[in-house]
Amino acid sequence: MRFTSIVMSTESTHPTPELIEAMGKLADREIKAGRMLDTAGLMPLATGARVTIQDGKLSVVDGPFVEAKEVVGGYAIFELQSKEEAVALAVEFMQLHKDLMPGWEGTCEVRPYFEPGTEGICDPLAEARA
């Protein structure tokens, strides 16, 4: 099963060198264990853009944005056996933040990938493929 872990926090925070080192070690271990397929950090929101539909109107707005409370800072893609494993890895990852970056607040969201044949889930790309 494939999962992605998405880390979100307030934009102003920058990880401490200790945290960066510890996260690097964790990522290294996960790559060596063959579980992590991909990972990346994202540039600040100000460097991105948003394409929005609101009131039936489509608009493109370049960053920076006024109201950005939670911003995606990075993600990792895993190939695992169960959701429990994905959660255990997210807990380990967040524990590092708790230990090495006191005061930091944020979320690590764990999401399984859509897989063909998964019941009760709408496949947004089904029509495009057909």
Partner 1 sequence: MTVASTHQTILAVWRIEQPRLITSLARLLRDVPLAEDLTQETLTVALERWPKTGIPERPGAWLMTTAKRRALDHLRRRRMLDQKHEMIIREMEEEEQIMPDLDTPLDDDIGDEMLRLIFTACHPLISREARVALALRMICGLTTSEIARAFLVTEAAIAQRIVRAKRTLSESGLAYETPHGEQLSQRLASVLEVIYLIFNEGYTAARGDNWFRLQLCNEALRLGRVLTSVAPREPEAHALLALMELNASRAAARTDAAGNPILLLEQNRSRWDQLQIQRGLKALMRAQELDGAGGIYALQAAIIACHAKAMAADETDWRRIADLYAELAGLLHSPIVELNRAVAVGMVEGPEAALDIVESLRDEPALKDYHLLPSVRGDLLYKLGRYDEAWRAFEAAAALAENKRERDFLMRRAGGAAAAAKG
Residues forming the site for partner 1 (CB under 8 A)? 22, 25, 29, 31-35, 37-38, 77, 79, 81-82, 84-85, 87-89, 92, 95, 99, 115-117, 125, 128-129
62: CB partners within 8 A, 6+ apart: 48, 49
How near is the Cβ of 114 to partner 1 at its closest, in Å? 10
Residue nearer to partner 1 on the CB measure, 28 or 62: 28
Nearer residue to partner 1 within complex by CB, 61 or 91 = 91
The distance of closest approach from Cβ of residue 51 to partner 1 in the complex, given in angstroms and rounded to an integer, is 22
- Shortest CB 24 distance to partner 1, Å: 11
Contact criterion met (CB below 8 Å) for 106 and 7: yes
Q: How distant, in Å, are the alpha carbons of 7, 26, 34 from that of 112?
A: 15, 20, 18
Query: 106 near 12, Cβ under 8 Å?
Result: no
**Residue 52 or 82 having the CB closest to partner 1:** 82
The set of residues, in sequence order, having a beta carbon less than 8 Å from that of 82 and lying 6+ positions away, is: 1
